[in-house]
Amino acid sequence: KTVRFGGTLTDILLKYKKGETTDFELLKHQLSDPDIKDAQIINWLHEFRASVAYLTKELEQLVSILLKLPWLRRSQEVVEEYLGFLGNLVSAQTVHLRPCLQMIVSQFVPSRITVREDDVDISDSDDDDENLPENFNTCHKALQTVARYVPSTPQFLMPILVESFPFINKSERTLECYVHNLLRITVYLPPLRLQILELVIEKLLKLDVSTPQQDIEDAEEAANNSDSGEKSTEEGLFDMEEDEERKGNKVVSCDTERMAHPLAERLDILMTILFTYIREVCYPDGKLDISNTKDLYRDLVSVFDKLILPTHASCHVQYFMFYICSFKLGLAEAFLDHLWKKLHDPNNPSVIRQTAGSYIGSFLARAKFIPVVTVKACLDLLVNWMHKYIDNQDTGDNAYCDVALHGPFYSTCQAVFYTLVFRHQQLLDGNLRKGLSYLQSLNFERIVMCQLNPLKICIPSVVNLFAAITRKYQLVFCYTIIERNNRQFIPVVRSGTGDHLVQTCTNPLDSFFPFDPYMLKRSKKTIDPLYQFWEELSAEDLENLKKPIEKGTSEDEDDDFLKGETPQNDGVVGIAPNSYESNIQSPVSSIGSPPDCYVPYP
């Protein structure tokens, strides 16, 4: 096998161009030998490096064989020689740039191996290959080499990255490796970062909408009830030596952290990688890099506008914005301002404006890192806009309750009500009289009593708690309007329960709460410390809701509402304003929205 045939490489190629193919075919055969030795590869590559001028378009079949050489799992000498050959090839013959890039990108996932089961050969990915981290390092080195010689590499590379993305049903390890390598490319090819983030988040979004919250809950419940309890463990993200700017991370996977739903498991792993990437870009040396963070924020907002905002009822992917905004208050305020501009711009489609309203309300309610002063500034902005909207409609022909006409207004009302349900305690803390004075200045009575009738359109679970809180603090009495609205709905008989009447479930806005509780077990560890959860109401708290505050409350008297806890539901008052923590399901048309229920009013 060490014998050479046919003379020098140059002679063989020149003979081939003259029509003599015997030596050329022998050359291809030798290069395709599965048992080819390291020394042979090095000798051949050395000759090819000196003869790249002859490797024109008509020799692409030979180049294809060279690109299939098993160079990655060879000695360091072979790797160095091959990298040198790649550099020479793409600089002399750019016609071969695309095949070279395809070869490198194909190595971003574990290699395929053949497994024999019941006398049948099955192709599968080699997820247990211990050399993966080293191989990936070498691939990125090769990509950097090519990019150094051919400045136009990014524009040729991006379509290849898109078409090579593994199908979502591929193994978790395959998806994990590919996404990790994609994000690693952004470190040394910054012009591709926006496109790569867009690609990754688009795939995450497809996973997210393919795994509705109810499916995840059902799978977890079935797994918990299963007697077997035997679930396979799988290695998490590999330890990897990164470039100077970034270091690898490891996603540890164990029985208790695995998601029972297979697609949710993939989404969880990939969300963990995305959160880690955001953290490492913004905190390169353990300290927040303002410039890096602002640049990444702009890219993520661009992806948010293009992909997330138009997607209805995604559950988890949008949390990348929640996470990056937690790094600095200025980013959270910038995000709120961005959403506000979307909401009040009449040139935007109504559905986008309504979704922006949902994001504002959910973000203000759920983000622990947003201080009260920012909440008040947002409430002022939103409520002032609502009052102006009412002013404009009162004199027109459209001053009646209609979702199609006033969708953005109702969405804004719901955002304000939802924020007040979660934040009223903080708004009143410290100085009750001053806090009440502020809430009274918002003039909720005018909003609730207006002809547009927002209490009829907003989700009942939010309306019920808003009504209980505003009644307690004597801001506005909503129950008369709620009862009038209820009489306009025809009751239905629940099957199997005799003559028990219940209200029909309604969600005219088809709204959802984007930052409802995060359910993916691994990646939720990143979100939970930043997140305002909804806690149970005690019987005493329920009683407190029914008692108006004393008129003569002293200025420094502490508010006793809920004893410092976030307002919460039970069967008497209503349902928590999110769909994840209730046992009553919302209709299919409003997945992700708080469910409705019958509530007895005082």
- Say how many CA atoms lie within 13 Å of 281 toward its Cβ: 26
d(C-alpha 553, C-alpha 397), whole Å: 44
Q: Which of 54-63, 226-235, 280-289 has the lowest mean pLDDT?
A: 226-235
Q: To the nearest whole number, what is the mean pLDDT of the chain? A: 81
Q: Are 89 and 148 in contact (CB under 8 A)?
A: no
Token pair listed for 167: 């199908």
283-287, 303-307, 451-455, 579-583: the lowest-pLDDT one: 579-583
Of all residues in the chain, what percent are helix, strand and coil, respectively (each to 5)? 60, 5, 40
Who contacts 469 (Cβ-Cβ below 8 Å, separation ≥6)?
420, 421, 424, 475, 545, 561, 567
Q: How far apart are CA 230 and CA 232, in angstroms?
A: 7
Question: According to the model, what pLDDT value does residue 480 have?
Answer: 85
pLDDT bucket at 481, cuts 50 / 70 / 90 = confident
Report the DSSP beta bridge partners of residue 122: 115
In percent, the amount of the chain with pLDDT more than 70 equals 75
Please tell me the number of Cα atoms within 13 Å of 237 on its side-chain side.
25
- Give pLDDT tens digits for 117-152: 555 655 555 556 677 889 999 999 999 999 999 999
pTM here is 0.81
- The type of residue at 279 is R
Q: Is the pLDDT score of 362 beyond 50?
A: yes
- Helix axis angle, 153-163 relative to 193-209, nearest 10°? 10
For the segment 62-75, what is each residue's pLDDT rounded down to a tens digit? 999 999 998 988 89
Q: Give the integer Cα–Cα distance in Å for 377 and 310.
A: 26
Instruction: Give the tens place of pLDDT for each residue, 387-424.
Output: 999 888 766 666 677 777 788 999 999 999 999 999 99
- Rounded to 10 degrees, the C-alpha dihedral 424/428/432/436 comes to -50
pLDDT-derived band at 556, boundaries 50, 70, 90: very low
- Mean pLDDT of the 91-116 span: 87
Amino acid at 569: N
Joined tokens for residue 568: 């919460």
Exposed/middle/buried for residue 438 (C-beta within 10 Å: 0-12, 13-18, 19+): middle
User: In the predicted model, is pLDDT for residue 595 greater than 50?
Assistant: no
- Spatial neighbors of 489 by CB under 8 A, at least 6 apart, are 503, 504, 506
Q: Is the pLDDT of residue 251 over 70?
A: no
Q: Where are the domains of the chain?
A: 1-111+130-149
Q: Which of 419, 445, 300, 307 is nearest to 365 (CA)?
A: 419
Sequence-distant (6+) residues with CB within 8 A of 463 are 417, 455, 478, 482
pLDDT the model gives residue 600: 38
278 or 34, which is more confident: 278
The secondary structure of 388-431, three-state, reads HHHHHHHCCCCCCCCHHHHHHHHHHHHHHHHHHHHHHHHHHCCC
Least confident of 204-218, 538-552, 585-599: 585-599
Structure tokens at 185: 């490319």
332 HSE (CA, 13 A, CB side): 25
Give CA 9 to chain center in angstroms. 52
Tell me which of 34-43, 279-288, 289-298, 315-324 is least confident: 34-43
Distances (CA, A) of 537 to 140, 334, 469, 488, 515: 54, 34, 13, 30, 21
pLDDT reading at 190 higher than 60 = yes
325-342 pLDDT, tens digit per residue, is: 999 999 999 999 999 999
